């Protein structure tokens, strides 16, 4: 180990992290982050946003969420929790972390080691389930 690449702190990196942290519950996509940061630093490029997003995720500062569609979404909370997605309005909500002991059991009984999971619940959110279609 040892030989880890030396990492530099740049304005771009800080701004990308800020943007994700300021996104609250929104779970923005990369191009949304791009737009936000660009409002502050107009010269930043999309490639840089992606590189910093991945670096931040690798260092455990932010989380990446895959919701079944093609694009990745970013989350100020690094991990552990799950998500609920409304199939009608697209609203995304954080759910508390779960141990998933029951579910992981099947895998463990097959001799596998479970180290993590991704869980997305689908349905109708309160607003969509209440209002007329």
Interface residues toward its own copies, by CB under 8 A:
66, 68, 70, 82, 84, 86-87, 93, 95-96, 98, 100, 102-104, 106-107, 110-126, 129-130
CB neighbours (10 Å) of residue 128? 15
Residue 116 and residue 105 in contact, taking contact as beta carbons nearer than 8 Å: no
Tell me which of its own copies, DNA, none is bound by residue 114, counting a contact when its beta carbon lies within the kind-specific cut-off of 5 to 8 angstroms. Answer: its own copies
Per CB under 7 A, which of residues 62..81 are in contact with DNA?
Answer: 70-72
- 3-state secondary structure labels for all residues of 43-86: CCCHHHHHHHHHHHHHCCCCEEEECCCCCEEEECCCCCCEEEEE
Position 47 contacts DNA (CB under 7 A): yes
Place of tokens 């799950």: 82
**What does the DSSP 8-state code read for residue 62?**
S
- The distance of closest approach from Cβ of residue 55 to DNA in the complex, given in angstroms and rounded to an integer, is 7
Considering beta carbons, is residue 51 or 117 the nearer one to its own copies?
117
Tell me which of DNA, its own copies, none is bound by residue 59, counting a contact when its beta carbon lies within the kind-specific cut-off of 5 to 8 angstroms. Answer: none
């Amino acid at each position: 180990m040892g030989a880890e690449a030396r990492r530099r702190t740049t304005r771009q990196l800080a701004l990308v992290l800020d943007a994700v942290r300021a996104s609250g519950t929104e779970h923005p996509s990369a191009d949304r982050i791009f737009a936000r940061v660009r409002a502050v630093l107009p010269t930043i490029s999309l490639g840089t946003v992606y590189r910093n997003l991945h670096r931040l995720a690798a260092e455990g500062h932010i989380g990446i969420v895959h919701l079944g569609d093609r694009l990745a979404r970013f989350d100020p909370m690094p991990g552990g929790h799950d998500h609920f997605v409304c199939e009608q309005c697209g609203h995304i909500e954080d759910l508390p972390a779960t141990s998933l002991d029951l579910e992981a059991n099947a895998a463990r009984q097959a001799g596998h080691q479970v180290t993590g999971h991704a869980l997305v619940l689908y349905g109708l959110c309160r607003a969509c389930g209440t209002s007329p279609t």
